[in-house]
Amino acid sequence: MLPLLKKHPYRLVLVGTAIKGVVTCSGLAKAPVRLLAFTLVSHLEMVMTDLIRTRCPDDQTLFEFLERERRIQAQTKTHRKPRTISHRACRLER
């Protein structure tokens, strides 16, 4: 959306053939839009975390998908920072 707004200062929001709103750069910076963007990114992170944990139940399975250098870096970091709190334990129930 931002590249489109560089060429034109506003974009019309259409529903069918009716104009339902106008989008501007300043409108994208307002709190409700930032909150929506933050919420969507947070949800994406939670879904990706669940998918990774389902397909890779332990660290060894996950490391098999990485290239050798990246695997060494990741294993070094996981040994330096022990996990004390499970992400699932902190997650709110739906």
> In a 3-state reduction of DSSP, which class is residue 19?
strand
> In a 3-state reduction of DSSP, which class is residue 73?
helix
Are 1 and 20 part of one and the same domain? yes
Are 43 and 22 part of one and the same domain? yes
Greatest C-alpha distance within the chain = 58
Are 68 and 94 part of one and the same domain? yes
**How far is 32 from 18, CA to CA, in rounded Å?**
23
pLDDT single digits (tens) 51-86: 988 888 887 777 888 888 988 888 787 665 544 545
Number of domains in the chain: 2
pLDDT value at residue 14: 92
More confident residue, 94 or 40: 40
Question: Which of 73, 84, 32, 83 is closest to 23 using CA atoms?
Answer: 32
82, exposed or middle or buried, with CB in 10 Å at 0-12, 13-18, 19+? exposed
Are 28 and 63 part of one and the same domain? no
Are 69 and 39 part of one and the same domain? no
- Domain that includes residue 34, residue range: 1-47
